[in-house]
Structure 1
Amino acid sequence: MSRRSKIILVIITVLFITVLIWLGKKNKENIVTYDTEKPFKATIEKKAVATGRVIPLEEVDIKPQISGIIEKVYLEEGVIVESGDLIATIRVVPNVQSLNSANGIVKNAQLTYENAKIQYDRNKKLFDKGVISGQDYENSLLSFNNAKQGLNNAKSDLDIIKRGTTAGLGRTANTNIRATTSGMIVEIPVKKGYQVIQSNNFNEGTTIATIADMTKMIFEGNVDESEVGKLVKNSNIEVSIGAIEGKKFPAKLNFIAPKGTEENGAVQFKIKADVFLDDTHFVRAGYSANANIILEKKDSVLSIKESLLRFDKDTEKPYVEIKTNENDDFEKKNLELGVSDGVNVEVLGGLKENDEVKVWNKASKEK
């Protein structure tokens, strides 16, 4: 054999050995062992989360009974008031037409009064002389008193139109805006100089203040239509308030709306729940909150992590692979599942408590 042939043979042999070594290493890399996990007993709760806010159960809007300008506001937001406490006063801006009409009524009443007085004075002298009967005298006295009362009424009406009050009304004067219930003033949306409109059958009127009982709060939120059918009235729930970290307030569901409203393409149903407060935290009206509602609960049931599940492409049924021997051989097992909390899921059938379930896409530490 020539020297050139020997060199070529050596090169081919070296290349052959190199390929064999590379293939051996590649084959070892393809051998992967997987971690396994066993089923476990767990308590699984399926929850719905409703987003909303905490508001007072009772809120009362204080509105004026007369139109005018806010003259003075005596209290501020956050003050505790009793029914009857003075909140603000109003300066009346009289209507020109009503003022003119009232002035005319006063003038007519004055004329009637003066005429009745003249007749009364004349009849009294005649009665004293015995010229007229007692009945005629009494009739003239009645007419005089009626005319006098009519004049006083007309003057009082004119005062009310001018100033919103008159002598003798006292606390009933409608220029004084008073609390109609006890509680905390949570809002005063007006200031001195604001124009306000009276409350009547045709107008809601301007809100001078809002009073609420801050010791009685409710949660008001929305639940998706896919979960509202599982809610049960008077069930216990937990309310988490965003402004108070680490605290969950117990509550009781007391209202589920019979009709939903569409929001962003999804139908939402309003719910309400009584929130049980404590003496440690002051809960302000309008705090954003979430309500955790337990839809279903299973205690100490056989469970696995949801991350271990796979779904058949054809049947879409869930399955796992369990270890069959020490050679890391696995066998497919179809499962029957129950309640899930998003992390763990109840296993109704297909697994035993001692089965070793493959952890997908997670190589063992020995690799």
Structure 2
Amino acid sequence: MKKESFILLSLLTLTLFSCNKKETEKKEMPPMPYKVVELQKANTTLTAEYPVTLEGITDIEIRAKVDGYIEKIYVDEGQEVKKGQPLFKLETQTATQDAAAAKARVDAAQVEVNRLKPLVERNIISDVQLETAKANLASAKSTYQSIVERINYATIKSPVNGIVGTIPMRLGSYVSSQTAEPLTRVSDISSVYAYFSVNEKQQLDIMMNAEGQSFQEKVNKMLPVKLFLSNGMAYEQSGKIETFSGQANVQTGSFNVRAKFPNANKLLRSGGSGTIQIPTDLKDVIIIPQNASMELQDKRIVLVVDNESKVKAVPVEVRAVSGGKFFVVDKGLNVGDKVVLEGVGIITEGTAIKPELVEYNEVINPTTK
């Protein structure tokens, strides 16, 4: 019995010794080293993306001015045409017959005027008869000219240089000025407008960071913008923002914006879509790597080291810098704060660490030597 009690006491003593040893080692463990950066001010460029709709600088609906059946279609969909080039011809047989009859009435009225003139000059008849004949001539000419114009309108020409759109009508289709659907559209796409919308905050962010005094001067001095096509490829030429709408849409609270892109190779087409990237230069802002923060309960958290080298969690408000590697910090951090660059999500608040200071310029410009 005494032997068993001795063994039990020995085991208990050994266990307590082991626990005390581990606790002592834990307490004596030195703080772990982590890379830390002291924040400074820097310059950067933010890029915002917006979906756009493309339209030609002129996008004109082609409609018939007179009634008739389509007799000829001179062009095809997607064809490039010049100003004044015939597009469609409507049937004019009836109008041609009407024109011949009207011309005959003009000739007859002219003969009557010519016959009465010498009679009036010799005072054989009164001026009234001649004036009546002249009025009849003018009326006949007006009727004839109206029919001729109707015949001319039957040949429908392109009002601008451009590209022919969809042609929904076919030969023999009856059209008039009241037809709901246009014969086609002709788009001048030598340059292309990109239309998009921004909300009030986005509009203020863009304009307040632009150079210039007046609103229009700020627009004129804005940086060139890039267009990414629907296949994800970047369009080869940069564009320029030209206008912001003067009033927000009362339903959406958004402003309409128009940018212009050159399109000499006709790659961009009216009705297309894409994404526009708008750069905004920011000066004297705080920048941190995105991996130096984490999402926690809908908040973005950064770990800051205090004067005792202990870690403190700080919520921040940020905007992403293009490229997906950095944030601009709008609220939560100040110049001189020491931010932990690694171990975010592992280090708990209040933990003492051994800060290893890294140069700020090396952090935000990793390629700079």
Q: Deviations over 1:240-271 (max 9, x none)?
A: 232351446422211111222256xx522100
Contact 1:251–1:274 at 8 Å: present in 2 too? yes
| 2:227/2:238 contact within 8 Å kept | no
Task: Classify the secondary structure of the residue corresponding to 1:6.
Answer: helix
Q: Mark the runs of 5 or more structure 1 residues left unpaired by the alignment.
A: 95-101
Asked if the contact 1:62/1:208 (under 8 Å) is kept, the reply is yes
- Whether the aligned pair in 1 keeps the contact of 2:63 and 2:184 (CA below 8 Å) is yes
- The 5-angstrom pairing of residues 4-23 of structure 1 reads 6-7=3-4, 9-10=6-7, 13-14=10-11, 17=14
Q: TM-score, normalization: structure 2?
A: 0.63
In the alignment, the residues of structure 1 paired with residue 290 and residue 174 of structure 2 have an alpha-carbon distance, to the nearest angstrom, of 63
Residues 88-127 of structure 1: pairs in structure 2 closer than 5 A:
88-91=88-91
Q: Report if the CA contact (8 A) 2:191-2:264 is conserved.
A: no
Which string of whole-angstrom CA distances, capped at 9 and with x for unpartnered residues, describes residues 66-124 of structure 1? 12332332211222222221111223798xxxxxxx9xx98xx79xx69x98xx79xx9
Which residue matches 1:194? 173
Task: After superposition, give the CA deviation of every residue in 1:141-195 in whole Å (9 maximum; x if it has no partner).
Answer: 96997699589659858xx8xxxx55xx6x9622111112222223434322333
Does structure 1 conserve the Cα–Cα contact (< 8 Å) formed by 2:72 and 2:90?
yes
SS at structure 2 position matched to 1:10: helix
Deviation of 1:9 (Å): 5.0
Q: Which moved more, 1:145-154 or 1:174-183?
A: 145-154
Give the equivalent residue in structure 2 for 1:86: 86
Is 1:359–2:343 an aligned residue pair?
Answer: yes
In structure 2, do the counterparts of structure 1 residues 183 and 309 end up closer, same or farther at CA, with 3 Å as the change threshold? closer
Q: Which amino acid in 1 is paired with 2:80?
A: I
In the alignment, residue 310 of structure 2 is paired with which amino acid? F
Indicate the structure (1 or 2) with the bigger Cα radius of gyration. 1
Map 1:116-155; keep pairs closer than 5 Å: 134-136=122-124
- Cα 1:85–1:28 change in 2 (3 A) is farther
Unaligned runs of 5+ in 2: 208-217, 348-352, 354-369
Return the alpha-carbon distance in structure 2 between the equivalents of residues 192 and 66 of structure 1: 16
The amino acid that maps onto 1:273 is A
1:30-79 CA-to-partner distances (Å, cap 9, x unmatched) read: 97846424358864223332321221112222221112332332211222
The reply on whether 1:290 has 2:265 as its aligned counterpart is no
Give the conservation status (yes or no) of the 8 Å contact 1:187–1:211: no
Aligned residue for 2:201, secondary structure, equals helix
Match of 1:255 in 2: 243
Q: 1:177 and 2:151 equivalent?
A: no
Counterpart for residue 255 of structure 2:
269
Q: Which residue does the alignment assign to 2:65?
A: 65
Q: Which moved more, 1:316-325 or 1:251-260?
A: 316-325
Please tell me whether the aligned partners of residues 196 and 206 of structure 1 are also in contact (alpha carbons under 8 angstroms): no
Matched residue, 1:213 = 188
The change in CA–CA distance for 1:46 and 1:241 in structure 2 (over 3 A counts) is closer
Whole-Å Cα distance in 2 between the matches of residues 189 and 303 of structure 1?
Answer: 55
AA in 2 matched with 1:194: S
CA 1:283/1:154 → structure 2, altered by over 3 Å: closer, same or farther? closer
> TM-score with structure 1 length normalisation?
0.63
Range that drifts further, 290-299 or 75-84: 290-299
* Contact kept? 1:63, 1:208, Cα under 8 Å: yes
Aligned residue pairs, count: 316
Q: How many Å separate the matches in 2 of 1:321 and 1:148? A: 98
Whether contact under 8 Å (1:45, 1:340) holds in the other structure is: no
Alpha-carbon distance, 1:349 to partner:
1.5
2:242–2:260 CA contact under 8 A, matched in 1: yes
| One-letter code aligned to 1:53 | T
Q: 1:233 aligns with which of 205, 219, 227?
A: 219
**Are the structure 2 counterparts of residues 86 and 322 from structure 1 closer, same or farther at C-alpha, using a change threshold of 3 Å?**
same
Would the aligned equivalents of 2:160 and 2:188 in 1 still touch at CA under 8 Å? no
In 2, Cα distance between equivalents of 1:93 and 1:27: 111
Read off the aligned partner of 1:330 and give its amino acid letter.
Answer: K
Distance 1:322 1:83, change over 3 A: same
Please say if residues 92 and 151 of structure 2, whose CA atoms lie closer than 8 Å, have aligned partners that are also in contact: no
What does residue 44 of structure 1 align with? 44
Q: Percent identity?
A: 14
Offset of residue 13 of structure 1: 4.6
Further displaced range: 50-59 or 18-27: 18-27
Partners of 2:305 and 2:51 in 1: CA distance: 41
Change beyond 3 A, Cα 1:15–1:242: farther
Q: Do the aligned partners of 1:39 and 1:304 also contact (CA within 8 Å) in 2?
A: no
Answer whether contact 1:69 1:93 (CA < 8 A) is retained. Answer: no
**Residue 147 to residue 215, structure 1, CA distance change in 2 (3 Å):** closer
Q: 1:99 — aligned with what?
A: none
1:308 alignment counterpart: 292
